[in-house]
């Protein structure tokens, strides 16, 4: 059985300004800002939450499905990348006249960033519903996407009686209180980082206990402090797995969710699933980018054994 990954598929354009924004942007002139940055370095990388989760699921031997919308003319290289790494594209729909979602990030020498995000085809993801998926799957995740798509996908998964994971992430600010509560209600798992959990409570005006009553379980990730699982009135701390080096934390959360979903799809206890998530997150911290093909199942199994003192059975897909 597969896991359905719904959410964004995006291309990141990362530019490096070999200077400092503070030397170019004058504080007393921000009301009439007109600056240009010379950026001799440009790196394009493939990302988007749904694709990142699916890519990492493939790393542990899963066979994920991606439900997303992309540009009609600019997805060729990304499509080839996915195909090369064994990811199915059956439910990635290209929309004529639209661009694939993209982030345009300029970083200076102090690691300050100026980012513009163009949603493009992602804003029409609701036009490509869960009903379009005719392959079997038992669990689906609703990750950051166009607003209506997140709402519709969550409702459709629950209506089908499938295991539903709600992961609004960066999409939280665009959701109204009643929309977010509706997505949470009846979901099997709600997963967010600690900032997003505070934002959830603020936006919904629900207490921790009240919010937990609306979902089957809650996982809050806390960076270097690991994650916390709240289920059936109990609180369980899941430790972080130490990385060998810290290079780039981008995509760590998506890798965590991939490990989590792999375990859930195989009916592991949530704590055991989250432990595999911690292992996957530790590998992503060690590499730049959000889709790292060099990570092997043997490495994942060895690190899991080292961190938790037990073997883990990964997939063979």
Distance in angstroms (rounded) separating the CA atoms of residues 279 and 307: 8
- Spatial distance between the Cα atoms of 172 and 117, rounded to a whole number of angstroms: 15
* % helix, strand, coil for the chain, step of 5: 40, 25, 35
What is the per-residue pLDDT across 163-209, written as a single tens digit (0 to 9) for each? 999 999 989 999 999 999 999 999 999 999 999 999 999 999 999 99
37-76 residue pLDDT tens: 888 888 889 999 999 999 999 999 999 999 999 999 999 9
Overall pTM > 0.75: yes
What tokens appear for 75 in the block?
Answer: 């997805």
> Tokens for 10?
């995006």
What Rg do the C-alpha atoms of the chain give, in angstroms? 20
d(CA 167, CA 250): 17
Active-site residues: which are they? 254
Q: Report how far Cα 77 is from the mean position of its chain's Cα atoms.
A: 21
Q: Which alpha helices (DSSP H) does the chain contain, by range?
A: 21-24, 49-59, 76-84, 147-159, 177-184, 194-204, 208-213, 252-265, 270-285, 297-308
Strand partners, 66: 5
Are 46 and 81 spatial neighbours (Cβ–Cβ below 8 Å)?
Answer: yes
pLDDT at 40: 87
Per the listing, tokens 């493009």 go with: 120
Residue 181 · residue 210 · CB < 8 Å: no
Alpha-carbon span 166 to 189, nearest angstrom = 6
Question: What local confidence, expressed as pLDDT, does residue 41 receive?
Answer: 82
The residue written with tokens 């919308």 in the block is 69
Q: Where are the domains of the chain?
A: 2-23+36-308
10-41 pLDDT, tens digit each = 998 888 888 888 887 877 766 677 888 888 88
CATH number of 2-23+36-308: 3.40.1190.20
Question: Any residues with CB less than 8 A from the CB of 144 and at least 6 apart, and which?
Answer: 7, 8, 49, 150, 167, 168, 169, 170, 171
Q: Tens of pLDDT along 105-158?
A: 888 888 788 888 899 999 999 999 999 999 999 999 999 999 999 999 999 999
* Span 304-314, pLDDT tens digits: 999 999 999 99
Average pLDDT of the residues in 79-108: 94
- pLDDT surpasses 70 at 317: no
Q: pLDDT confidence of 288, banded at 50, 70, 90? A: confident
Q: Six-digit token pair at 163?
A: 């295991």
pLDDT in tens, 100-116: 999 888 888 887 888 88
């Amino acid at each position: 059985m597969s896991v359905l990954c719904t959410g964004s598929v995006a291309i990141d354009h990362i530019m490096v300004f070999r200077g400092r924004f503070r030397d170019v942007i004058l504080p007393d002139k921000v009301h009439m800002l007109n600056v240009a940055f010379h950026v001799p370095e440009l790196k394009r990388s493939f990302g988007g939450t749904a694709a990142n989760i699916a890519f990492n699921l493939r790393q542990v031997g899963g066979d994920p499905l991606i439900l997303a919308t992309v540009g009609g003319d600019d997805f060729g290289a990304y499509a080839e990348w996915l195909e090369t790494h064994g990811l199915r594209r059956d439910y990635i729909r290209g929309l004529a006249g639209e661009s694939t979602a993209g982030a345009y990030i300029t970083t200076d020498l102090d690691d300050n960033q100026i980012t513009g995000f163009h949603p493009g085809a992602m804003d029409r993801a609701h036009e490509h519903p869960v009903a379009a998926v005719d392959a079997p799957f038992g669990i689906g995740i609703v990750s950051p996407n166009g607003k209506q798509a997140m709402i519709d996908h969550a409702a459709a998964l629950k209506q089908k009686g499938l295991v539903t994971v709600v992961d609004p992430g960066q999409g939280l600010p665009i959701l109204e209180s009643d929309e977010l509560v509706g997505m949470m209600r009846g979901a099997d798992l709600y997963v967010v980082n600690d900032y997003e959990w505070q934002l959830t409570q603020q936006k919904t005006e629900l207490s921790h206990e009240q919010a937990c009553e609306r979902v089957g379980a809650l996982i809050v990730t806390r960076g270097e402090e690991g994650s916390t699982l709240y289920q059936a009135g109990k609180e369980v701390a899941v430790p972080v797995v130490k990385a060998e080096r810290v290079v780039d934390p981008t995509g760590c959360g998506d890798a965590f969710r991939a490990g989590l979903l792999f375990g859930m799809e195989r009916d592991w206890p949530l704590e055991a699933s989250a432990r595999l998530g911690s292992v996957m997150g530790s590998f992503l911290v060690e590499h730049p980018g959000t889709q790292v093909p060099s990570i092997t199942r043997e490495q994942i199994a060895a690190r899991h054994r080292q961190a938790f003192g037990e073997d883990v059975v990964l997939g063979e897909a």
